[in-house]
Amino acid sequence: MDRKVAALLGKESTGNASPMGVSPIHLRLAAGDKSLEELIKSIDYGLLIDGTMGAWSGNPYSGIVTGTISMGLAIEKGKIVGRVKDCMYTINAFEYWSKHLVGCSKDTLASGVRGASSVYPYVMLDEVVIATK
């Protein structure tokens, strides 16, 4: 919470604000128990999204997340069969995290921007809508 939100809630600020608003400083998602390779082998037909542009566009208050896939890998029968790019995805984060989360990898990635850091696994969701031209 920043000072404004904390005051509205009658709480103390947690210090997790930036000029762009309230955000976590150190985000960590729990890893799963399967390797990324095992998750890929379990996919009959899908897509590994490895890069996005405009991610987290949409309406974050309603949970709508949309973006362009700048780098994706097509998966068929548990094998990577080709490259996919310039497609769009749309999900409702609230619904997908609660109803469509299939699993998380034990492999994790780390990233950091402007003093913030994140550690997270690969996340496997089902029934994601992907659109192309």
| Predicted confidence band of residue 2 (pLDDT cuts 50, 70, 90) | confident
* 77 falls within a domain: yes
Per the structure, how many domains does the chain have? 1
* 116 falls within a domain: yes
What is the helix, strand, coil percentage profile of the chain, to 5? 15, 55, 30
CA angle 98, 68, 32 (to 5 degrees): 35
The residues facing 31 across adjacent strands are none
64-117 pLDDT, tens digit per residue, is: 888 889 899 999 999 999 999 889 988 898 899 899 999 999 999 888 776 667
The whole-number average pLDDT for the span 19-39 is 81
Whether the pLDDT of residue 18 is over 70: the answer is: no
Q: Which residue has the higher pLDDT, 119 or 57?
A: 119
Residue 19 burial class via C-beta count within 10 angstroms: exposed 0-12, middle 13-18, buried 19 and up: exposed
The whole-number average pLDDT for the span 8-14 is 84
Q: Give the list of residues 6+ apart from residue 10 with CB closer than 8 angstroms, or none.
A: none
Residue 50 φ then ψ, to 5°: -110, -5
Whether the pLDDT of residue 125 is over 80: the answer is: yes
* 12 falls within a domain: no
* 112 falls within a domain: yes
- The 3-state DSSP class for residue 79 equals strand
* 17 falls within a domain: no
Query: What residues make up the domain containing 116?
Result: 23-131
* 16 falls within a domain: no
